[in-house]
Amino acid sequence: MMEALATARFRGTSVIPSKFDWLFGAAAPRSGTFSGTRDGSEVWADVHFLGAKTEGITACASRSASGESVFTVSVKGRPEVLGGAGVTGALSGSGPMYFASGDRLFVMTPDARLRDALLPALGLSVPSCVWREPETLPVFPWEREVMDAFAAQGIEIREDRRIEV
């Protein structure tokens, strides 16, 4: 992880326990928040080291009605939240959260440039915001724009209904 951060021009100052250490439960036995600077700006990345390949991770960022940045991380359509919370987390006074995931890592950061620099260094990709059931359900070309427009207005779209035939 440290080599990938260095490749991304990240100069680390500290690693502390993640406040999201509960994310993914036993599937992520280790996590940490890496803080430092990149090109003179303070940045951080919350990294979850997955003990086994975790399929079906989705991550969505939006704005709450009060203007706060909120995000929800889900596994196979089930939101990872604490207690009765409606979202995984929230950020006051900053932009949205950005996500990257791979077979053994999940990264979230409020800095898109850091996320984008870590993608090739760690072999990660940007997870979808929508879980598809079945997973092979086709994606329409305009789907992302529609979902982004809803998210920009603070409207969360979640389809939990199952149709049995």
Name 99's Cβ contacts closer than 8 Å, sequence gap at least 6.
Answer: 59, 61, 71, 73, 106, 107, 108, 115, 126, 127
For residue 43, which phi and psi values (nearest 5 degrees)?
A: -140, 165
How many domains does the chain contain in total? 1
CB 36 within 8 A of CB 10: yes
Contact 154, 65 (CB under 8 A): yes
163 lies in a domain? no
pLDDT at residue 165 in the model = 45
- Are 28 and 49 contacting, i.e. CB atoms less than 8 angstroms apart? yes
Per-residue pLDDT tens over the stretch 79-88:
899 988 888 9
Residue 132's pLDDT band, with cuts at 50, 70 and 90, is: low
Q: Could you tell me if residue 144 is inside a domain?
A: yes
pTM strictly above 0.95:
no
Q: Please enumerate in sequence order all residues whose Cβ is within 8 A of that of 120, keeping only pairs 6 or more positions apart, or say none.
A: none
Pick the more confident residue, 107 or 93: 107
Closest CA to 19 of 36, 33, 2: 33
Per the domain annotation, does 162 fall within a domain?
Answer: no
- Domain assignment of residue 89, yes or no: yes
Q: Would 146 be classed as within a structural domain? A: yes
Q: Given this model, what pLDDT does residue 46 score?
A: 96
Query: In sequence order, which ranges of the chain are alpha helices (DSSP H)?
Result: 2-7, 112-122, 143-152
Give me the domain span that covers residue 103: 2-152
The residues that bridge with 79 in the sheet, in sequence order, are 74
Residue 41 in this model has a pLDDT that exceeds 50: yes
| Chain mean position to CA 130 | 12
With respect to residue 57, please indicate whether it lies within any of the assigned structural domains.
yes
